[in-house]
Amino acid sequence: MKIFERYPFIMITVGILGISLSSIFVRYSQAPSLVTAAFRLLWTVLLMTPVIFLKRETRKELLRTGKRELILSAASGLLLAVHFATWFESLRRTTVAASTIIVCTEVIWVALMYRFFMNGTICKNARAAVTITLLGSVLIAVSDSAGGRNGLSGDVLALIAAIAVAGYTILGKEVRKTTGTAVYTYIVYVFAAAALTGAAFAAKQPLWNYGSSPVYTGFLLAVVSTLLGHSIFSWCLKYFSPAFVSASKLCEPVVAGIFAAILFAEIPGGLAILGGVIVLTGVVLYTMLEMKTQKET
């Protein structure tokens, strides 16, 4: 690990590749979106369980989890399940670039939820960043609507995914005031896995009806996209500022779009590209403003 500590940019690069491959793996799955999402969470829970229970501190903390924290974590897990289910389905209906860009607006929806549900405030410059982001999203939707109703429905699903993961983030911030990240994440993943598995059966999509494709895809999503993707970004906070790490995550739509262009010959239209640039610009501006505000506070 010393080489990674000396050259942390290697880990940032691995993290970007990990999260960017998520949409590509989903595209290769031959199972319905609910089944693919369920296997991702089931694998993640399976891989995390030994880590949680073999470590005395996390095992004791998990067993001491209070009723309030458990309820909030369960709600957070349900929102995460909605996020994965709608985003995976979005990837089947619209381009990888459009879907991942819209999902990246999560930070904007977190800001709006904070403003309207938690009596927070948004400064004038931040409101401008939010407006820019929403304008870019409209341009992507207009571009997809011109290409057919299916693309537009994919954009709507990506939007729902972004709003759901924003709710997951808001609840997570509250729970982690009293609960460790590892324990909170584990509880959330357990509830999300249960919700997705139950939803798949309710939709008459049993997990075993689709061969080995969703099993392998779910494993790759759990290991590459979750453990080697999102978890690495948490590690990188030791060496980089939160603003830089957050901005690095915005490389996902670009890298994923390049993979999609090479593997699926998927080239977004000019209007969609313009909308994507505007969305990412708005998200970057808001992220920088948010980090500046936190630093001053």
- pLDDT digit string (tens) for 6-54? 666 788 888 888 888 999 999 999 899 999 999 999 999 999 999 999 9
Q: What range does the domain containing 143 cover?
A: 18-296
Give a yes or no: residue 215 inside a domain: yes
Give me the mean pLDDT over the 245-273 stretch: 83
Give a yes or no: residue 125 inside a domain: yes
Q: What percent of the chain has pLDDT above 90?
A: 37
Give a yes or no: residue 1 inside a domain: no
| Sign, CA torsion 5/8/10/15 | positive
Q: Lowest mean pLDDT of 3-12, 178-187, 208-217, name the range.
A: 3-12
Q: How many domains does the chain have?
A: 1
Q: What is the pLDDT of residues 265-288, one digit of tens each?
A: 888 778 888 888 888 888 778 777
Instruction: Give me the chain's average pLDDT, please.
Output: 85
Give a yes or no: residue 5 inside a domain: no
- CB within 8 Å of 266: residues ≥ 6 apart: 95, 96, 97, 257, 260
More confident residue, 5 or 14: 14
Give a yes or no: residue 13 inside a domain: no
Residue found by looking up tokens 């829970």 in the block: 45
As a whole number of angstroms, the distance between CA 68 and CA 57 comes to 20
As a whole number of angstroms, the distance between CA 135 and CA 151 comes to 18
Give a yes or no: residue 243 inside a domain: yes
pTM: 0.87
Give a yes or no: residue 9 inside a domain: no
Q: What percent of the chain has pLDDT above 70?
A: 87
